[in-house]
Amino acid sequence: QKEVEQNSGPLSVPEGAIASLNCTYSDRGSQSFFWYRQYSGKSPELIMFIYSNGDKEDGRFTAQLNKASQYVSLLIRDSQPSDSATYLCAVKGTGGFKTIFGAGTRLFVKA
Amino acid sequence: GAVVSQHPSRVICKSGTSVKIECRSLDFQATTMFWYRQFPKQSLMLMATSNEGSKATYEQGVEKDKFLINHASLTLSTLTVTSAHPEDSSFYICSAREGSDWTIAFFGQGTRLTVV
C-alpha cells in the first residue's frame, strides 16, 4: 500500500463547477497535510495546509480532513481553466520529519 | 510565502560530465533543505535531506557518491550530479524550511536536467 494515495485522473470538470480531489494516507500518526498545485514543467506551489479535523477554507479552496478515516480532500469552487494542473497531496508523518507526496491528480477545467 | 531560488532552471550536459544545482533561501535562514527528483508524470521522490553544517541524509537507493550535497551555509545548498548519464535526466527540485520539523518548507523553481 502506498503511503499517500491519489487518483491519477484526469479529472475533468466544466468551468464554474466544483472540483473535488481526494487523498488517503496510511500513517495514522500523521499530523500535517498539504495540498500543492503543480503546473506542467514547474515546481509545486503550496495552496493549503490543514492540521485539524474538519474544514479549512481559503478563497475558492476548502481542505477537508478526517483523521479517523485517514482521508483529506480539496474542493475547488467556481473552477477556472487556470486551475487546470496536477494537484499533489502531501502528508507529514509521525515525528514530522519527512513529507510524503502522493502521485498527484491531474485536473482539467473545460472552458 | 518565503522565497527559494534554484539555479539553473534548465541544463543540458554531456554524458560523463558533472552538473551543479544551487538552491538558495532568499529571505530566511534555511536550517533544513530537501532535494527531490521527479520523473515525468510521477510524484516527487525525496533524494536527501541536508542540515546546515552537517552531512546530508540520503534516502534508500540514492547513491551519495553520485549525488553530492553540500549545505555549507544557512542560505545555500548545492546538489552536484557527478558523471551524469541519460537516466539521470529528470526534474530536480529543492525545498527549504526555517526552524523546526513542523514549519512549512517552500520549493525552488526546479531544474530540468537533460543528459545527452
CB of B42 less than 8 A from some CB of A: yes
Among chain B residues, the shortest Cα distance to A4 is held by B43
Q: For A31, list phi and psi in degrees, rounded to 5.
A: -120, -30
pLDDT single digits (tens) A71-107: 999 999 999 999 999 999 999 876 656 788 999 999 9
- Burial class of B69 by CB neighbour count within 10 A (0 to 12, 13 to 18, 19+): buried
pLDDT single digits (tens) A23-76: 999 988 888 999 999 999 899 999 999 999 999 999 999 999 999 999 999 999
Q: B102 to chain A nearest CA, in Å? A: 6
Q: A35 to chain B nearest CA, in Å? A: 12
Q: How many beta-carbon contacts under 8 Å exist across A and B?
A: 42
- The closest of A106, A92, A81, A82 to A25, measured between CA atoms, is A92
In the structure grid, which three cell numbers stand for residue B42, read together?
510521477
pLDDT single digits (tens) B42-66: 888 999 998 888 889 999 999 999 9
- Whole-number pLDDT of residue B100: 65
- The closest of B63, B37, B57, B94 to A97, measured between CA atoms, is B57
CB–CB of B24/B2 below 8 Å? no
pLDDT single digits (tens) B95-114: 998 866 666 788 999 999 99
- Whole-number pLDDT of residue A95: 63
Q: How confident is the model at residue B41 (pLDDT cuts 50, 70, 90)?
A: confident
Beta strands per DSSP E along chain A: 4-5, 11-14, 19-25, 32-38, 45-50, 54-58, 61-66, 71-76, 85-92, 99-101, 105-110
- The closest of A24, A47, A101 to B46, measured between CA atoms, is A101
Average pLDDT score, chain A: 92
- The closest of B20, B16, B33 to B105, measured between CA atoms, is B33
CB of A41 less than 8 A from some CB of B: yes
- Whole-number pLDDT of residue A17: 97
Strand partners, A50: A33
Q: What is the DSSP letter of A89?
A: E
